Amino acid sequence: MNGDYLIMGVDFNEIEKSLFEGTAKLNFGSLKLYVAYLKENFLQVEREKINNITKFLENDSRKNVQALADSLNKFFVKKENEIIRVKDMYSFDRSFGNYIYLAGVDEVGRGPLAGPIAAASVVLSLKYKEDTDLILGIKDSKKLSPKHREELAEIIKKKAIAYNIALINNNEIDERGISWCNNEVLRRAVKGLKIPPDIALSDGYAVKNLDIHNEFVIKGDAKSASIACASIIAKVYRDNLMKEYSKLYPQYGFDNNAGYGTNEHVNAIKEYGVCKIHRMSFLKNII
* Cα torsion 45, 49, 51, 53: sign: negative
Is 203 annotated for ligand binding? yes
Q: What is the pLDDT of residue 37?
A: 86
What is the Cα–Cα distance from 284 to 272, expressed in whole angstroms? 16
Q: What type of residue sits at position 78?
A: K
Domain limits of the chain? Answer: 6-93, 102-241
**What's the confidence (pLDDT) of residue 20?**
65
pLDDT of the residue at 192: 98
Residue 151 marked in a binding site: no
Q: How many residues does the chain have?
A: 287
Confidence at residue 6, expressed as pLDDT on a 0 to 100 scale: 46
Q: Would you say 112 and 277 are in contact if contact means Cβ atoms under 8 Å apart? A: no
Average pLDDT, the chain: 92
pLDDT at 46: 85
The answer to whether the annotation marks 174 as part of a ligand binding site is no
**Architecture of the structural domain at 102-241:** 2-Layer Sandwich (3.30)
- Residue 43's pLDDT is 87
- Exposure class string for 193-230: b at 16+ Cβ within 10 A, else e: beeebbbbbbbeeebeebeeebeebeebbbbbbbbbbb
Task: Mention every residue, 6+ apart, whose C-beta is less than 8 A from residue 102.
Answer: 93, 96, 123, 124, 126, 197, 198, 199, 200, 201, 226
**3-state SS assignment for residue 171:** helix
Q: Which residues of the chain have pLDDT under 50?
A: 1-8
Q: Which residues contact 118 (CB under 8 A, 6 or more apart)?
A: 107, 108, 109, 165, 166, 167, 185, 234, 235, 237, 238, 241
Find residue 202's DSSP bridge partners.
105, 216
- pTM of the predicted model as reported, rounded to 2 decimal places: 0.87
